[in-house]
A and B are shown apart, each in its own frame.
Chain A
Amino acid sequence: MRHHNKIILAAIALLSILSALVVWPRDPGKYLHGLPLPGSPGIHLALGGMVLDRDGFRLGLDLQGGTNLVLQADMSNVPDNERADKLEGVKDIIERRVNATGVSEPIVQTSGSDRIIVELAGIRDIEEAKNLIGKTARLDFREQATPQAPADPNAPPDASDTSGWVVVTATGSDGQPHELTGQYFKKAEVGFDPNGNRPQIYFQFNDEGAKMFAEVTQRLVGKPLGIFLDNQLLTAPIVQEPITGGSGVIRGQFTLDQAKTLVIQLNAGALPVPVRVIQERTVDATLGGDSVRKSVIAGELALVVVAIFMIALYRVPGVMAVVALAVYTLLTLAIFKLWPVTLTLAGIAGFILSIGMAVDANILVFERMREELRAGKTVRAAMEAGFDRAWSSIRDSNVSTLITCAILYWFGTSQGASIIAGFALTLAIGVAVSMFSAVFVTRSLLRALVNFGAATHPEMFGVPRTPPAAPAAPSGPAVAAPGMGR
Chain B
Amino acid sequence: MLDLVSKRYLFFLLSALVILPGVISLILPGGIHPGIDFSAGSIMTLQFPVPVDQGELRQAFVDLGHPEAVVQRSEDVYLVRTFPLAEDQRDENGNIIHSERQDIENALRQRFVPADVLASQPDIRVVVGYDSVSPLVASEIVRKSILAVIAACIGILGYLSWAFRKVKNPWRYGVCAVAALVHDALLVLGVFSILGRLFGVELDALFITAVLTVIGFSVHDTIVVFDRIRENLQRYPGETFDTVVNHSLTQTMSRSLNTSITVLLTLVTLLLFGGVTIHTFVLALLVGIIAGTYSSIFNASMMLVVWENGEFKRLFHRGPREPEAAAAAA
Query: Which residues of A come within 8 Å of B, CB atoms?
Result: 62, 70, 72, 126-127, 130-131, 134-136, 138, 276-284, 286-287, 290-291, 294-295, 297-298, 301-302, 305-306, 309-310, 313, 345-346, 349-350, 352-353, 355-357, 359-360, 363-364, 367, 371, 389, 392-393, 396-401, 403-408, 410-411, 414-415, 417, 419-420, 423-424, 427, 473-478, 480-481, 483-485
Contact = CB atoms under 8 A, between A and B. Distances in A.
Given A359-B262, A404-B213, 10 more contacts: A130-B88, A278-B134, A279-B133, A284-B45, A284-B129, A306-B265, A345-B277, A419-B206, A477-B247, A485-B1
B152 A407 contact: yes
A298 B155 contact: no
Contact of B275 (A134, A291, A359): A291
B239 A356 contact: no
A130 B102 CA distance: 12
A393 B228 contact: yes
A346 B216 CA distance: 16
Contacts of A389: 231
A305 B271 CA distance: 14
Interface stretch (B59-67, B186-194, B252-260): B252-260
Contact of A346 (B209, B219, B263): B209
Contact of A134 (B94, B148, B215, B236): B94
B329 interface: yes
A363 B144 contact: no
Given A127-B99, A349-B278, A481 B2 contact: no
Contacts of A294: 273-275
Q: Is the interface of A mostly helix, strand, loop or mixed?
A: helix
- Lowest 6 CB-CB distances: which A-B pairs, in order? A135-B94, A404-B216, A284-B128, A476-B1, A356-B263, A294-B275
Contact of A359 (B1, B77, B216, B259): B259
17 contacts: A135-B93, A138-B93, A277-B132, A278-B134, A298-B273, A309-B265, A349-B282, A352-B274, A353-B263, A356-B264, A357-B263, A397-B221, A404-B152, A405-B216, A407-B151, A408-B212, A475-B1
B156 A403 contact: yes
B205 A417 contact: yes
Given A283-B129, A353-B267, A392-B227, A363 B255 contact: yes
A417 to B, nearest CB: 5
Contacts of A309: 261-262, 265
Interface string B112-138: 000000000000010111111110110
A214 to B, nearest CB: 28
A400 B151 contact: no
Given A305-B269, A367-B255, A127 B155 contact: no
B275 A356 contact: no
A284 B46 CA distance: 10
B160 interface: yes
B96 A400 contact: no
Contacts of A408: 148, 152, 209, 212-213
Interface string B148-172: 1001100110011001000000000
